[in-house]
Amino acid sequence: MHEQEELITEEVKAGVYAAYLAHPKSGENLPSVLIIHEIFGLNENIRDIARRFAREGYVALAVDLYSKENVRQLCIFKTVAGMIISARKTAHMGALDEAANWLKNLPGVSPEKLGVIGFCMGGGYALAFAVSSKQLKAVSAFYGMNPRPLDSVAQACPVMASYGSKDQFFAKQGLKLEKKLKEFGIPHDVKVYEDANHAFFNDTWSNYNPEAAKDAWQRTLAFFSEHISNRKK
């Protein structure tokens, strides 16, 4: 266990996954967020996002989808092939549900204040999880594949989604998602950022767009405050 500034961080085992946990040193009835990485895995960028959430008062758990044996190639294949499909048919949903249960049962965590955020591959899993799980209060998905069938979002918790206009395939996914969320009356915030590309939120990659990333982070905090922690940002 390591203490960083006002935070405690540690490598943990959350169900079947290895994971990185970051949380305030103290607090009760805290909101929590499950973080699902992009195709690059549980790297320092994702760990930093967990710490950023912890500084905002969340208990943040970043799962390592590749920590199960032989799943790295399977995750990548499914992502590249566009096979992140309906939650009922996605193999990771049960394991993510287990990790979410582990997270919300930690001391000091409110079991009623759980959200999920995901990026690229993780954004697709986050949207699928929004459909499959009844325990989530909100999801923030960055440039993720839509769940299939898309009408399944009628069962989703509130959804926030972010895309870059230069990332044309996923931007079109976002427009389709927004249309369906409106149709089914699901609370949502979908935004396509002009002049931003795929993975614009990743500050360790060449496509990083500081302005879009800053705005998307503030939108995420506001959306989670409204739907998870009931605080105004």
Three-state DSSP class for 123?
helix
Angle between helices 92-104 and 121-132 (to 10 degrees): 80
Torsion of CA 194, 198, 199, 201, to 10 degrees: 10
Length of the chain: 233
The one-letter amino acid at 205: W
Q: Please say whether the structural domain 2-229 has been given the CATH code 3.40.50.1820.
A: yes
CB atoms < 10 A from the CB of 172, how many?
Answer: 13
Cα separation, 209 vs 87, in Å, equals: 31
Q: Strand 7-14 vs strand 2-4: parallel, antiparallel, or unpaired?
A: antiparallel
pLDDT by position in tens, the chain (length 233):
666 668 999 999 998 899 999 999 999 999 999 999 998 899 999 999 999 999 999 999 999 988 875 455 555 555 545 544 444 445 578 889 999 999 999 999 999 999 999 999 999 999 999 999 999 999 999 999 999 899 999 999 999 999 999 999 999 999 999 999 999 999 999 999 999 999 999 999 999 999 999 999 999 999 999 999 865 44
CA-nearest of 159, 148, 104, 121 to 41 is 121
Name the DSSP class of 80: H
Please tell me the predicted confidence (pLDDT) of residue 29. 95
Whether the predicted model's global pTM rises above the 0.85 cut? yes
